[in-house]
Homo-oligomer: A and B are copies of this chain.
């Protein structure tokens, strides 16, 4: 009476959430931003300089990262400081690097 479902595959909501998270990580600009923030909190112009994209592109991506709580925002005067908002990200990135660096 349990084999009407598909026990091998997690339920749709979990699958969907996982896919959403990985989609966010599937963009070079967002990866660069997160990597930059791993070391320290930075304002937008610093991030822009670090990742080598336009300020507009960076702001758009920061908005997405913010929405999924992967970065945190702190305002100080006319500056916006961003920092890493999640502890799992670094671990997941390190594991992905392990994979991609293999022969």
Contacts and interface: CB of A to CB of B under 8 A. Distances in A.
A15 B92 CA distance: 13
Counting chain B CB atoms within 10 Å of each CB, which of A9, A10, A27, A86 scores highest?
A: A9
Given A9-B50, A50-B8, A99 B36 contact: no
A92 B2 CA distance: 28
Contact of A19 (B21, B26, B88): B26
| Chain A residues touching B, majority SS | helix
B91 A95 contact: yes
Interface of A: 6, 8-10, 12, 14-23, 25-28, 31-32, 35-36, 38-39, 50-52, 86, 88-89, 91-93, 95-101
8 contacts: A8-B39, A12-B28, A14-B101, A15-B32, A15-B35, A19-B31, A20-B100, A86-B99
